[in-house]
Amino acid sequence: MGNTHLGLDTLDEYSQQLQLWQKIFSASAKSDNLWNLLIYGCNVAFADAGTEFNN
């Protein structure tokens, strides 16, 4: 995503891309070629929204 802001206010804008990633990562979990998505950010797991995100 580079410098893209992904938050509750922009999820709709990126929903198709996120759904595609979900399919790719689900398929990779069933194979020997596992893919990982690492999310770096200052407030990724902050407050109630962060707790919900982690679940």
Percent of the chain with pLDDT over 70: 91
Cα–Cα distances in angstroms (integers) from residue 55 to residues 3, 4, 17, 50, in the given order = 24, 23, 20, 9
Which residue has 């995503």 as its token pair?
1
Asked if pLDDT for residue 1 goes beyond 60, the answer is no
Mean pLDDT computed over 22-32: 80
Per-residue model confidence (pLDDT) at position 16: 92
d(CA 50, CA 4): 18
Per-residue model confidence (pLDDT) at position 44: 73
Mean pLDDT computed over 18-45: 78
Asked if pLDDT for residue 23 goes beyond 60, the answer is yes
Per-residue model confidence (pLDDT) at position 39: 73
Question: What share of residues in the chain are helix, strand, coil (percent, to 5)?
Answer: 50, 0, 50
